[in-house]
Chains A and B, each alone.
Chain A
Amino acid sequence: MSATAETWDADRALTRIRELEHLPGALLPILHALQEEFGYIDSAAVPLVADALNLSHAEVHGVISFYHDFRHAPPGRHILRICRAEACQAMGCEALVEHVEKRLGAKVGETTHDRSFTIEPVYCLGNCALSPSVMLDGHPYGRVSPEVADFLINDLRRRQ
């Protein structure tokens, strides 16, 4: 499940919206579908979603900005989510974060210059008996030492 970060396309967006607009409380499912389609939620989606659900632009924008998951800009080709919650803290996740930031030359919350990686913080992946834990393109990894992180990053780079 590598994030595709494809370019915005109103027709494709509308197709996804139409599939889901009938659901009770359809806004979150629609936003998830749009992010799945494009890797982020383009600001051009706001009026389309608002029209479909009979909401104001402000309401839709408010929901997009409330939830940490929804991205406002296209991410890198790979998304590395590093857990920074207590169980992972107890196993040195901050040292892991520091290592990865140095290795990739981007901070948590940023995308690398070559757009290969976006690093995101996450507060618990539910893998707390095997900390430190990360999720790379939707795949979970436990007991992630700096060496394991290097291996995962190199492996993806090699395959590009």
Chain B
Amino acid sequence: MSGRVYVPCDAAAISVGADAVARVVAEQIASRHLNLTLVRNGSRGMFWLEPLLEADTPKGRIAYGPVSAEAVPGLFDAGFFDGKDHPLCLGPTEEISYLKRQERLTFARCGITDPLSLADYVSHGGYRGLERALGLSREQMVEEVIQSGLRGRGGAGFPTGIKWRTVLNAPGDQKYIVCNADEGDSGTYADRMIMEGDPFVLIEGMTIAALAVGATGGYIFIRSEYPHAHRTMRRAIAIAYENGYLGTDVAGSGKRFDLDVRLGAGAYICGEETSMLEALEGRRGQIRPKPPLPALEGLFGKPTVVNNVISLATVPIILDKGAAFYRDFGMGKSRGTLTIQLAGNIKYGGLVEKAFGLTLREAIFDFGGGTFTGRPFRAVQVGGPLGAYFPEWLLDTPLDYEAFAAQKGLVGHGGIVVFDDTVDMAKQARFAMEFCAIESCGKCTPCRIGSTRGVEVIDRIIAHQNRPANLELLDELCELMVDGSLCALGGLTPFPVLSAIRHFPEDFDKPAPTPIVHLADRAQETQQWR
């Protein structure tokens, strides 16, 4: 039997040399006449260990990392392909504590299989969710997702099943499933990883969604910054078509579902669902006022389910194992698992899939190992560029939608960006406003003009010009943006700005904390982000 050795094809692994490692591994296999197959798997999500080389052995998969191309011949000399010891050997992959402590449901296959092998997918539990779904009525499928407690993982946290029910009950001869793969939040890469590492799970999830609501067409809107994910998804869709999992007769059910991929064009705002629909229709990505909800009048005016990649990729396991299985993970109203992405100045950056309820401290220190630089921790931004900055004393906040809202923050898409004590929070507040100004779609005035004025006011604060009056002005401006913006970009940009002032007043030369606007109340309303 030919053994298998693995080198990830994930873009992050490639960014630190995985392609070069794979090239040398292939050369060594050929020159040593070894009976080995090189598989380009997805990433396990332990990025400080990338490129991670693995070998299939009778004792399971054995990991070596981080491996450089230069180290590969030595690994062959040592017999790594038989799991032999080497200074880079990390032991059995599944026993690495970072992985072992996780609860991988959505990412169950990621890093294990060949992303473009349908046989691998099916032999690792793939398409079991669809199989069970085909035996259910539409209402039963939707009910299963409602009962699972799954909430939109793009950031808004809206119950996925409720959205599906609205589309199911909407009249219409044509309905669509649109997958939001415009993962623009800094500190997030879960969507990219799953598309590159297990693309069929997303196709299966979208297929189940289509069957459940009666949709026959679907689009995955991928940001252009993700060329690898784009290529992998395109190939996976072609393979699914060739094998009868997409097209006129999905898995022999007689039902039709056509799926295509579209590329974004570098606009953060297109992560907002209505803006993304505009882009898909070939227009400027300016947001649409709601109502009408996209569930009733979405893509090309038709009822449309718009869900995030992770939401859709979680559907297969819910249908496979049942709503109760999934619901048993988590805390409070946050059911199931969160794909936490540790990023920025962090020692062990990577993807941690855990039931909701892990505290920020556990994520950053128990998993992440503290800062990369070894300097003291100072601040963390959770939930992307619209998420609040938290100081050390808020680190015991559990990762849970409601617990974060109570602290005027948001879980968002699960990105956690860590900063050490060299960070200047006035600069971070300025960047939040600047980013909003760069990315505003221009539809509404509070966002378009407010963000530019916000940068100017913060510049005056940084320049020590009449600080008390300018801080008060900034407070008022933020309140206006929160109350007056049409979507989450303008409505949530004040979160990072005001949290920086509130929790790090010393960077603004401020003696006492200032009252903050009623962000928590508005958070629920304005979180239509994805």
Contacts of A141 on B, CB cut-off 8 Å?
Answer: 15-16
Contact present for B265 and A31 (CB under 8 Å): yes
In the complex, whether B183 has a CB less than 8 A from a CB of chain A is yes
Which interface class (under 10, 10 to 19, 20 to 34, 35 or more) fits A? 35 or more
| A52 CB to nearest chain B CB (Å) | 12
In the complex, whether A3 has a CB less than 8 A from a CB of chain B is no
Contact present for A125 and B225 (CB under 8 Å): yes
Alpha-carbon distance A1/B230, docked complex (angstroms): 15
Contacts of B345 on A, CB cut-off 8 Å?
Answer: 90-91, 131
Given contacts A69-B266, A126-B192, A130-B349, contact A89 B431 (CB under 8 A): yes
Chain A stretch 82-137: residues in CB contact (< 8 A) with chain B: 85-91, 122-131, 133, 135
| A17 CB to nearest chain B CB (Å) | 13
Given contacts A90-B344, A128-B341, contact A62 B284 (CB under 8 A): yes
Given contacts A88-B186, A129-B47, contact A28 B282 (CB under 8 A): yes
Q: CB-nearest residue of chain A relative to B19?
A: A139
Contacts of A1 on B, CB cut-off 8 Å?
Answer: 227
Given contacts A24-B300, A90-B418, A128-B187, contact A66 B341 (CB under 8 A): no
Alpha-carbon distance A53/B283, docked complex (angstroms): 12
In order of increasing CB-CB distance, the 7 nearest A-B pairs are A129-B349, A27-B282, A85-B186, A128-B343, A90-B344, A67-B265, A142-B15
| Sample of 13 more A-B contacts, CB < 8 Å, known A70-B265, A90-B419, A140-B12 | A25-B281, A29-B262, A63-B282, A66-B286, A85-B385, A89-B344, A91-B344, A124-B183, A124-B186, A127-B12, A130-B12, A131-B345, A143-B16
Q: CB-nearest residue of chain A relative to B385?
A: A86
| A84 CB to nearest chain B CB (Å) | 9
In the complex, whether A26 has a CB less than 8 A from a CB of chain B is yes
In the complex, whether B159 has a CB less than 8 A from a CB of chain A is no
In the complex, whether B417 has a CB less than 8 A from a CB of chain A is yes
Q: CB-nearest residue of chain B relative to A23?
A: B260
Interface size on B, residues (CB 8 A): 61
Alpha-carbon distance A126/B229, docked complex (angstroms): 11
Contact present for B186 and A28 (CB under 8 Å): no
Contact present for B265 and A133 (CB under 8 Å): no
Contact present for A86 and B350 (CB under 8 Å): no
Q: What are 5 pairs between A and B in contact, CB < 8 Å? A: A25-B282, A32-B263, A89-B428, A89-B431, A128-B188
Chain A stretch 20-50: residues in CB contact (< 8 A) with chain B: 24-29, 31-32
Contact present for B280 and A25 (CB under 8 Å): yes
Contact present for A86 and B431 (CB under 8 Å): yes
Contact present for B186 and A87 (CB under 8 Å): yes
For A53, give its contact among B14, B282, B431 (CB under 8 Å): B282
Contact present for B14 and A139 (CB under 8 Å): yes
In the complex, whether B226 has a CB less than 8 A from a CB of chain A is yes
In the complex, whether A68 has a CB less than 8 A from a CB of chain B is yes
Identify whether the interface residues of B are mostly helix, strand, loop, or mixed: mixed
Interface residues of A (CB under 8 A from B): 1, 24-29, 31-32, 53, 59, 62-63, 66-70, 85-91, 122-131, 133, 135, 138-143
Contacts of A129 on B, CB cut-off 8 Å?
Answer: 12, 47-48, 189, 341-343, 346, 349-350
In the complex, whether B207 has a CB less than 8 A from a CB of chain A is no
Contact present for B226 and A126 (CB under 8 Å): yes
Alpha-carbon distance A116/B146, docked complex (angstroms): 55
Identify whether the interface residues of A are mostly helix, strand, loop, or mixed: loop
In the complex, whether B469 has a CB less than 8 A from a CB of chain A is no
| B88 CB to nearest chain A CB (Å) | 18
For A86, give its contact among B15, B186, B225, B284 (CB under 8 Å): B186
Contacts of A68 on B, CB cut-off 8 Å?
Answer: 265-267
Alpha-carbon distance A100/B401, docked complex (angstroms): 40
Alpha-carbon distance A131/B342, docked complex (angstroms): 11
In the complex, whether B184 has a CB less than 8 A from a CB of chain A is yes
Alpha-carbon distance A142/B435, docked complex (angstroms): 22
| A147 CB to nearest chain B CB (Å) | 15
Contacts of B423 on A, CB cut-off 8 Å?
Answer: 90
Given contacts A32-B265, A70-B265, A86-B344, contact A123 B184 (CB under 8 A): yes
Give B188-216 as 1s and 0s: 1 = Cβ < 8 Å from A's Cβ atoms: 11011000000000000000000000000
In the complex, whether B415 has a CB less than 8 A from a CB of chain A is yes
Contacts of A140 on B, CB cut-off 8 Å?
Answer: 11-12, 14-15, 228
For B263, give its contact among A27, A28, A138 (CB under 8 Å): A28
| B381 CB to nearest chain A CB (Å) | 6
Alpha-carbon distance A32/B185, docked complex (angstroms): 23
Given contacts A24-B300, A27-B283, A67-B266, contact A128 B349 (CB under 8 A): yes
Contacts of B300 on A, CB cut-off 8 Å?
Answer: 24-25
Contacts of B350 on A, CB cut-off 8 Å?
Answer: 129
Contacts of B192 on A, CB cut-off 8 Å?
Answer: 126
Most buried by B among A27, A32, A91: A91
| A30 CB to nearest chain B CB (Å) | 9
Contact present for A142 and B16 (CB under 8 Å): yes
Chain B stretch 247-274: residues in CB contact (< 8 A) with chain A: 262-268
Contact present for A127 and B186 (CB under 8 Å): no
Given contacts A68-B265, A91-B345, A143-B16, contact A124 B185 (CB under 8 A): yes
For B267, give its contact among A66, A91, A130, A135 (CB under 8 Å): A66
